[in-house]
C-alpha cells in the first residue's frame, strides 16, 4: 500500500457532477459522465480524473494502492444537507397515533411533538447523545453519505442547545463523515413561553446566539419560520442578528402554510431555504434570482402524507434544488438515501440525473462547500462512492435498497460491503 496514494481504476463510468457551485435549472441534468474512467488521489485530494487509457499513460499504477472498479459506477459522495442528527429519545408512538388519524395539535396535547424530544434530549447525557450520534453516522455512511448537516433545536434553552452542539462537534471530530453544525434554537416555542413568543426570540437572539458564536459551536443558524411557530418578522430579526455575528443562515420555510419564508430567505441571502412545500411562485422566483438553494425533504412529506414540494416547477424556474433526508425523531425518522431517490424520481417528477445533482454538488452548495466537495474534480476532497452496478441508473431502479458498495472519504476507504459492511476506520 502506498500511503496517501490511491487509484480508482477502470470504472464503467465516473459520474463527476463536475462544478464548483450549485447547478441551476437545466444545468442539473448534466452529470458530465466519463465512460471507462479512473481517478487519481494523493493525500486525500483528487489529483486527476479522466478516461482510464489516458490516466494510465500519465500515472504509474505501481506507485498507488489500486481499487479495481471494473463493472462499477463511481460517483461523488452524497451530501445530506438537512438533518436533526443529535437527539435523545424516540417518538414511535406518535407515528401510530398519526396512522390513527390524530393531527399534530392532538399529539401535542398528549405531550408529543418537538417538546417530547426536548424532554428526552435534556435528560440524555453527553455520552448517550454521542453514542447514538455515532451510530446514526455509521448508518448514513453505509448509504454513501460523506458529509451531513446536523442541527440542534431539541433544547430550546442555553444549556441543552450547547450540549447538542458540543456533541455534534465531537462526532464530527471522531467520525469519517464530516458534520456541518447548525444552531436551531428557534425550533419551537417551549410551553413556558406560550403567548410570549417575542420574549423567547429575544432570549435566543440576545442570550443564546452570542454564546454559540463565541464558542464557535455552529457554522449556520436556522429558524422554523411557520404559522404558530415564528413569524416572518421574528425570523428576520433572529437571522439578521445571526448574520451580524458571522453565521451563515438557513431557514425552515413555507412547510405548512404559505407564509413568505422563501421570500425572506432571498431577502436575507440565505444559503438555503428548506422544506418549501407551500412556497409561492414569487418565493421560487426570488430564490432563483438570489441563488438560494431550495432544499427539498420528500421523506417528511411522505411520512406525514402531505403533498410533495414542487421540485419539477422549481427546477424549471431556474432554481438550484438539493435533496436531504430531514432525519429527525418525529416527522421523518429515516436516513435512507434510496428512499429519497425513489420519492424524488417517482413522485416529484425529477429525473435521475437531477436527483443525483441534488444530493451531490447541490447538497454541497446547501452547506456552502461546493468549492471543496460534491463533485469529482481536480483539487477537491476525494469523497467518492462506488456502486455495486455499472451505471448510476441503478440507484433509483433498485427501489429502497442501497446500491453503494464502497465509500472513500478523504482518499481513504472507510466502508466496504465486501468487508462486512461496517465502518472501516
* pLDDT of residue 41 exceeding 50: yes
pTM confidence score:
0.97
* pLDDT of residue 287 exceeding 60: yes
CATH assignment of the domain containing 385: 2.30.40.10
Residue 218 in grid coordinates: 455552529
Above pLDDT 90, what percent of the chain? 92
* pLDDT of residue 1 exceeding 50: no
Instruction: Among 54-63, 112-121, 228-237, 336-345, name the one with the lowest average pLDDT.
Output: 112-121
Q: Does 336 belong to an annotated binding site?
A: no
Q: Does 328 belong to an annotated binding site?
A: yes
Mean pLDDT of 293-305: 96
pLDDT digits (tens, 9 = 90+) for 145-165: 999 999 999 999 999 999 999
pLDDT bin (cut points 50, 70, 90) of residue 32 is: very high
Same domain, 62 and 203: no
Q: What is the pLDDT of residue 198?
A: 97
Q: In terms of pLDDT, which residue wins out, 419 or 137?
A: 137
Same domain, 256 and 272: yes
Q: What is the pLDDT of residue 21?
A: 98
* pLDDT of residue 2 exceeding 70: no
Q: Does 154 belong to an annotated binding site?
A: yes
Same domain, 72 and 83: no
CATH assignment of the domain containing 226: 3.20.20.140
Q: Is residue 257 included in any domain, yes or no? A: yes
Q: How many residues does the chain have?
A: 425
Among the residues of 46-157, which ranges form H helices?
A: 52-58, 92-99, 104-109, 114-123, 126-142
Same domain, 21 and 114: no
Q: What is the pLDDT of residue 105?
A: 65
pLDDT digits (tens, 9 = 90+) for 239-251: 999 999 999 999 9
Same domain, 195 and 259: yes
Number of compact structural domains in the chain: 2
Q: Does 82 belong to an annotated binding site?
A: yes
Q: Does 198 belong to an annotated binding site?
A: no
Instruction: Label residues 328-344 b or e (16+ Cβ within 10 Å = b).
Output: bbbbbbbbbbbbbbbbb
Q: What is the pLDDT of residue 112?
A: 82
Q: Is residue 424 included in any domain, yes or no? A: no
Residue 64 in grid coordinates: 498507488
Among 1-5, 91-95, 325-329, which range has the highest average pLDDT? Answer: 325-329
Q: Does 252 belong to an annotated binding site?
A: yes
| Residues 110/303, Cβ–Cβ less than 8 Å | no
Q: Is residue 54 included in any domain, yes or no? A: yes
Same domain, 87 and 101: yes
Q: Is residue 247 included in any domain, yes or no? A: yes
| CA distances (Å), origin 264, targets 127, 231, 316, 380, 404 | 38, 11, 21, 32, 38
pLDDT digits (tens, 9 = 90+) for 214-271: 999 999 999 999 998 999 999 999 999 999 999 999 999 999 999 999 999 999 999 9
Which residue, 408, 412, 386, is CA-closest to 43? 412
Q: Which of 340, 366, 392 is the last residue of a domain?
A: 366
Q: Is residue 101 included in any domain, yes or no? A: yes
Same domain, 195 and 322: yes
| Residues 143/83, Cβ–Cβ less than 8 Å | no
pLDDT digits (tens, 9 = 90+) for 111-128: 788 889 999 999 999 999
Q: Is residue 304 included in any domain, yes or no? A: yes
Same domain, 409 and 266: no
Q: Is residue 425 included in any domain, yes or no? A: no
Q: What is the pLDDT of residue 250?
A: 98
Same domain, 204 and 128: yes
Widest CA span of the chain, in angstroms?
Answer: 70
Q: Does 393 belong to an annotated binding site?
A: no
DSSP tally for the chain: helices H, then strands E: 17, 16
pLDDT digits (tens, 9 = 90+) for 367-402: 999 999 999 999 999 999 999 999 999 999 999 999
Q: Does 142 belong to an annotated binding site?
A: no
Same domain, 387 and 280: no
Same domain, 168 and 270: yes
Q: Is residue 397 included in any domain, yes or no? A: yes
Q: Does 60 belong to an annotated binding site?
A: no
* Mean pLDDT, rounded, of the chain: 96
Q: What's the distance, CA 79 to chain centroid? A: 5
Helix (H, G, I), strand (E, B) or coil at 82: coil
Q: How far apart are CA 4 and CA 93, in angstroms?
A: 48
Domain range holding 159? 79-366
* pLDDT of residue 3 exceeding 70: no
Residues 321, 326, 331, 333, Cα dihedral to 10°:
140
Q: Is 76 left (phi over 0), alpha (psi -120 to 50) or beta?
A: beta
Same domain, 33 and 66: yes
| CA distances (Å), origin 302, targets 39, 331, 347 | 37, 9, 10
Residue 281 is inside which H or E element, if any?
helix 281-290
Q: Which of 366, 389, 406 is the last residue of a domain?
A: 366
Amino acid at each position: 500500500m502506498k500511503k496517501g496514494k490511491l487509484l480508482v481504476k477502470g470504472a464503467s463510468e465516473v459520474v463527476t457532477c463536475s462544478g464548483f457551485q450549485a447547478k441551476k435549472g437545466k444545468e442539473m441534468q448534466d452529470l458530465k459522465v466519463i465512460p471507462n474512467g479512473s481517478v487519481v488521489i494523493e493525500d486525500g485530494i483528487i489529483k486527476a480524473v479522466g478516461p482510464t487509457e489516458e490516466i494510465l499513460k500519465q500515472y504509474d499504477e505501481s506507485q498507488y494502492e489500486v481499487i479495481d472498479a471494473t463493472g462499477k459506477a463511481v460517483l461523488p459522495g452524497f451530501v445530506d444537507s438537512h438533518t436533526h442528527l443529535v437527539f435523545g429519545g424516540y417518538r414511535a408512538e406518535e407515528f401510530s397515533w398519526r396512522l390513527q388519524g390524530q393531527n399534530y395539535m392532538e399529539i401535542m396535547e398528549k405531550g408529543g411533538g418537538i417538546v417530547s424530544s426536548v424532554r428526552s434530549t435534556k435528560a440524555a447525557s453527553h455520552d448517550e447523545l454521542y453514542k447514538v450520534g455515532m451510530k446514526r453516522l455509521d448508518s448514513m455512511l453505509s448509504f454513501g453519505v460523506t458529509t451531513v448537516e446536523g442541527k440542534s433545536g431539541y433544547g430550546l434553552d442555553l444549556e441543552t442547545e450547547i450540549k447538542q452542539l458540543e456533541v455534534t462537534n465531537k462526532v464530527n471530530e471522531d467520525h469519517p463523515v464530516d458534520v456541518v453544525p447548525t444552531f436551531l434554537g428557534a425550533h419551537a416555542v417551549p410551553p413556558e413561553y406560550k403567548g410570549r413568543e417575542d420574549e423567547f426570540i429575544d432570549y435566543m437572539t440576545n442570550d443564546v446566539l452570542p454564546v454559540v458564536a463565541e464558542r464557535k459551536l455552529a457554522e449556520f443558524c436556522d429558524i422554523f419560520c411557520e404559522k404558530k411557530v415564528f413569524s416572518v418578522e421574528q425570523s428576520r430579526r433572529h437571522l439578521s442578528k445571526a448574520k451580524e455575528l458571522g453565521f451563515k443562515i438557513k431557514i425552515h420555510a413555507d412547510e405548512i402554510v404559505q407564509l413568505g419564508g422563501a421570500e425572506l430567505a432571498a431577502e436575507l441571502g440565505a444559503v438555503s431555504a428548506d422544506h418549501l412545500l407551500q412556497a409561492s411562485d414569487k418565493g421560487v422566483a426570488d430564490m432563483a434570482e438570489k441563488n438560494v438553494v431550495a432544499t427539498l425533504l420528500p421523506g417528511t412529506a411522505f411520512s406525514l402524507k402531505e403533498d410533495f414540494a414542487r421540485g419539477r416547477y422549481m427546477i424549471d424556474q431556474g432554481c438550484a434544488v438539493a435533496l436531504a433526508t430531514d432525519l429527525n425523531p418525529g416527522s421523518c425518522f429515516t436516513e435512507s438515501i434510496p428512499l429519497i431517490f425513489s420519492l424524488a424520481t417517482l413522485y416529484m417528477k425529477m429525473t435521475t440525473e437531477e436527483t443525483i445533482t441534488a444530493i451531490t454538488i447541490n447538497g454541497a452548495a446547501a452547506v456552502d462547500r461546493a468549492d471543496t466537495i460534491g463533485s469529482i474534480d481536480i483539487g477537491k476532497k476525494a469523497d467518492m462512492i462506488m456502486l455495486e452496478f455499472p451505471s448510476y441508473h441503478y440507484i433509483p431502479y433498485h427501489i429502497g435498497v442501497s446500491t453503494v458498495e464502497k465509500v472513500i472519504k478523504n482518499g481513504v476507504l472507510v466502508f466496504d460491503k465486501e468487508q462486512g459492511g461496517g465502518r472501516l476506520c
